[in-house]
Structure 1
Amino acid sequence: MKRPVGILLLAIVAAVIATAAAAWPSGATGAPGGGKIVAVGAQSQYADVIAQVGGKYVQASAIMSNPNTDPHSFEASIAIAREVGDARLVVQNGLGYDSFMDSIESATPSSGRTVISVQRLLKLPDSTPNPHLWYDPATMPKVAVAVAASLSVIQPAHAAYFKANAAAFTASMKRVDAAIASFRSAHSGVPVAVSEPVADYLLTALGADNKTPWTFQSDVMNGVDPSPQNVAAQRSLFTERKVRVFLYNQQVTDALTGSFITLARQNHIPVVGVNETMPAPGYDYQTWMLSVVRDLRLAVAHG
């Protein structure tokens, strides 16, 4: 979800900048803890890929990691500024999804820090409408390669190790690709509805037919009340049973989304919840994506 940054968040970021400017001299490099490379993922899914590629030579943490809260109510803090300030490597999404990271990085300048913007890595324009890039199965292998390259610059002696881990990550994604191909073969064109475009990239890969109007999805994503026409169109998908599954963002629910969940269930349409940040504990990125594909397959096949 890419909702407008609220006044409170802007005020907090301003305070972080003011404090951090005094706390970190310009050009500070950030000290790795215990000889490991300190790295940060703006979201838990990116931190997980860093950890898988970096292995024993990296100390990775996530800024946004709680799967039970709205990631768009996130508030920057002095502790987070310190965490980013100490990092030698940062991976963030871009497309306005985590713009607070840019402010914190500006407030904690470091000549020894590498920042990977996934938006820039994928060469996506700022006008790209859907920021949930990690739901595209092609994204994370590219992130893994970029992480390995950046870590190799920081610790050249371990370059072969990082490269091998990135290759292992890419190989492990074949399980996800196979599950997607199996779904597409069995259920290509299956009509679905969504509350917002969290999993849209994955739905495209699965060959699903997303019937929810884009303007409705975009309004919900950005915290805007959808038009009465779009609400009526969305309701008709359930009352006229035009879709087989309803996917909703279970980290961000409101009365409108709740009414659609109820309406879907009243019409015997399965409801599948999806997350913006990686569920924890017990998941890595690969098993997370596999679980989403599995839930969709079960919903379509068995209701």
Structure 2
Amino acid sequence: MTRLPRFAPALSTGLLVIAAFACTLGTAHPAAAAGPIPAIGVENEYADVIAQIGGPYVSATAIMTDPNTDPHSFEVSPRIGGRIAGADLIVENGLGYDDWADKMVRAAPKSGRIVINVQKLRDLPDSAPNPHLWYDPATMPAVAHAVAEALSKLDPGHAAYFQRQEQTFDASLKPWAEALAAFKKDYPDAPVAVTEPVGDYMLQAAGAKIMTPFPLEAAIMNDTDPAPQDVATQNALFTKGTVKALVYNQQVTDPLTNSFLELAHKHGIPVVAVYETMPAPGYHYQSWMLAEVEALRRAVAGKISTESLLKPVAH
């Protein structure tokens, strides 16, 4: 199950836009021999990793960046079409999450371009139910390695630099891994409720027990009507005090998810915000993930809510 239905309205317009750029730019454009490599991370968390690996030898930008907006209302524009058409390296999520971008990339082929599809990189089937791969601790080391290899092909003269940056990036993930392991040890099977599966990979890595029926998560994610019995089950998690926290998608709320938030507040259940794009310019991927685990710990250990990460947490 994916977000694709929410993206569908923008696809036809976007393809016309990108096709126009493809006609303008042509299809035989090798990677630039000099200057920073133009690269795109469709979601800003991927752009951040590209920038960390590429350093001054890459100009990495993101398409989806705003933590204050619903990413599923995103619409393409000629400016975005031009950026995609000109990129030598593109990282996209896959699993239908950013299918519009994949279509635009294929509509504007460019000689020498490298496209990293994270779903394919992780060897995940199209039926994988949760597309929010950046919360999985196994994802970004694989992305960093693939990016380092891609940049080395595009700019062989700086291959040693890209490899060192990959090693530095991997080492920088250690505090997050340690925080996940510590939470799992200190609060095994901590029961939590969620609104969507946005943070589920992280919760599973932390050893938390997700009590929300997955069909309810999927229905909210896909903007379909959930089964009444699943809503009743979710409500009971709050009224009976079954869960230690509610983990909710801060970027996408509706009357149903707001009702869950209200119930959580009413019954003293702390709330933890998760995101589909990196929440503030002051974060890097590593500090964002660490902040999420720390927020989860505060919720479970001290009943303290973190309903927004729009300001970076100091470490």
Q: How high is the TM-score relative to the length of structure 1? A: 0.97
Amino acid at match of 1:35: G
Alignment of 1:214-233 (within 5 A): 214-233=214-233
Q: Indicate the larger mover: 79-88 or 195-204.
A: 79-88
> 2-side partners of 1:248 and 1:186: how far apart?
22
**Corresponding residue number in structure 1 for 2:133:** 133
CA–CA distance in structure 2, aligned partners of residues 261 and 197 of structure 1: 16
Matches within 5 A, 1:1-303: 2-6=3-7, 8-29=9-30, 31=32, 35-303=35-303
CA contact (8 A) 2:7 2:100 kept: no
- Shift in Å, 1:2: 1.6
Counterpart CA distance in 2 for 1:43 and 1:218 is 21
1:112 shift after superposition: 1.6
Query: Partner of 1:16: helix, strand, or coil?
Result: helix
Partners of 1:24 and 1:70 in 2: CA distance:
32
Deviation track 1:123-170 (CA, whole Å, cap 9, x = no partner) reads 111111100000001110111011000000011110000000000000
d(CA) in 1 for partners of 2:7, 2:87: 26
Q: Does structure 2 conserve the Cα–Cα contact (< 8 Å) formed by 1:29 and 1:86?
A: no
| Offset from partner CA, 1:248-300 (integer Å, 9 cap, x none) | 10100001100110001101000111111001121000000010001000010
Alpha-carbon separation, structure 1, partners of 2:231 and 2:155: 53
> Match of 1:251, as an amino acid?
Q
**Contact conserved, 2:22 with 2:85, CA < 8 A, in 1?**
no
Q: Does the 8 A contact of 2:14 with 2:104 survive in 1?
A: yes
Structure 1 22/110 Cα, relative in aligned 2: closer, same or farther at 3 Å?
same
Q: CA deviation at 1:6?
A: 5.0
Residue 106 (structure 1) shift: 1.8
**For 1:90, what is the secondary structure of its paired residue?**
strand
Q: Structure 1 residues 189, 7: CA separation in 2 closer, same or farther (over 3 Å shift)?
A: closer
Q: List runs of 5+ in structure 2 lacking aligned partners.
A: 304-315
State the distance in 2 between where 1:152 and 1:28 align: 18
Once residues 7 and 284 of structure 1 are traced to their aligned partners in structure 2, the CA distance between those partners, rounded to angstroms, is 30
Deviation at 1:18, TM superposition (A): 3.8
In structure 2, distance between residues paired with 1:93 and 1:18: 22
Gap change, CA 1:38 and 1:21, over 3 Å in 2: closer
Deviation, structure 1 residue 76: 1.2
Q: How many residues align?
A: 302
Which whole-Å CA distance do the structure 1 matches of 2:30 and 2:86 have between them? Answer: 7
**In structure 2, how many angstroms separate the alpha carbons of the residues matched to 1:6 and 1:136?**
23
Secondary structure of the 1:42 match is strand
Which residues of structure 1 form unaligned runs of 5+? none
Distance 1:68 1:39, change over 3 A: same
In the alignment, the residues of structure 1 paired with residue 93 and residue 7 of structure 2 have an alpha-carbon distance, to the nearest angstrom, of 19
What letter corresponds to residue 178 of structure 2 in structure 1? A
Q: CA deviation at 1:5?
A: 4.1
Residues 99-119 of structure 1, C-alpha deviation per residue, up to 9 Å, x if partnerless?
A: 111121122110121000011
Q: Report if aligned partners of 1:17, 1:103 keep a CA contact under 8 Å in 2.
A: no
For 2:163, the aligned partner's letter is: K
Quick one: structure 1 residues 278 and 265, their matched pair in 2 at CA, closer, same or farther if it must change by over 3 Å? same
Contact 2:18 2:82 in 1 (8 A): no
- Give the letter for the 1:28 counterpart: H
Q: CA 1:14/1:39 → structure 2, altered by over 3 Å: closer, same or farther?
A: closer
8 Å Cα contact 1:3/1:221 also seen in 2: no
Partner residue in 1 for 2:306: none
Cα deviation, residue 7, structure 1: 5.3
Q: Which residue identity does 1:99 align to in structure 2?
A: D
Alpha-carbon distance between aligned partners in 1 of 2:241 and 2:130, rounded to the nearest angstrom: 27
Is contact 2:91-2:115 (8 Å) kept? yes
TM-aligned CA deviation for residue 11 of structure 1: 3.0
